[in-house]
Chain A
């Protein structure tokens, strides 16, 4: 295994890092869980994991000086994969408990999963395995080997529902569509947990570790 398989997992005190670590290992990557800026900036690719509340996540990232590190790494061309809350934090802002700015690395804002027509209330959190509706031609290398029937594990109450650009795949909760994958340049975010989505999720991580450069 070469140093090129090194995958930095950004530790900002939020989320199940062990799962991401095991999954990266399983697909041949070398996971490095750290909050050290220098170590993170040395990694050829980075993963921003996360669960829980947006405001808390951003505050923890800031408190460790890591939002500047993420910006610096992305500006230098390092591939970055945000997972779940990590994906949401890549966007411009969230309206979960007020209005909190995000990292602004992809388009979109994060809002509660609600029908705008006032129809039947959705059961939240949305906890389900769903297939993806891909935007044709976007992130082909990332989705290599993924079939139309492959399903991915979602657990969330908020989502990006309004992005005009940068959507690579959609999924839905009871007919309400939201962004399942967002991208901009060398940045990718998945609303679902690839590390918890069985062989299909591992395939995505494998593509990210082996092709993301």
Chain B
């Protein structure tokens, strides 16, 4: 299976390329009342709308008449030993259909430990057992959900034990075995590079970029633990914008999502950042058209 954006058929429509925004309740009403904004799409976490009535699902339906929607999940726990609950998968399928999402993404991580749900994302073991278990699960989920699956690389603060292979190769083999696409979060690559002492560009070089179907960008912050934390609570750093440009110069046009989950500023401020990212996006594509690796990258700070 090719990466979702290369699927041309009507059964699997594409998401428009360009910069989109993670939909948050803090500005949902304002977004609905405003004239159409220059947003390629909106991304929603289906768990926030599933099993729910009232204002928000209705507002989401209205948002869907104005902007393309795509679902990005939080709790499938793709990497867990235990399978996702069938009831949850059924409800998720209904929600994906309701919003007409062209694909569904979730994190390459585990959130469940035994019976407990942590509501956090933990790194899976980078080994062949994981590749086998997760790829089989992704193939089943693709059938059960009825849409292509994307997996997102996460930020992780602890290394998941001794790896059988480096993370880029683990991702590559998993994508090949599963047929899933990659939701490449370049902020997560940057944060991991800083926290674990590797080169972000070298990491990206080793990824199968032809499998990237969507890109995430977000902000990070320093913390009391001498770690960068992927808070989604700040503007996208210039270094992360550069990584975005580097990837786009190699992939060509893709949907790019701005994630902002905490310290959410007014919508007008978010749209300023969207426009800034759109400029980065267009500049990167122009450099691609000129045929060179003109998107330079300063040495990692």
Bound pair: A and B? no
- Interface residue ranges, B against A (CB under 8 Å): none
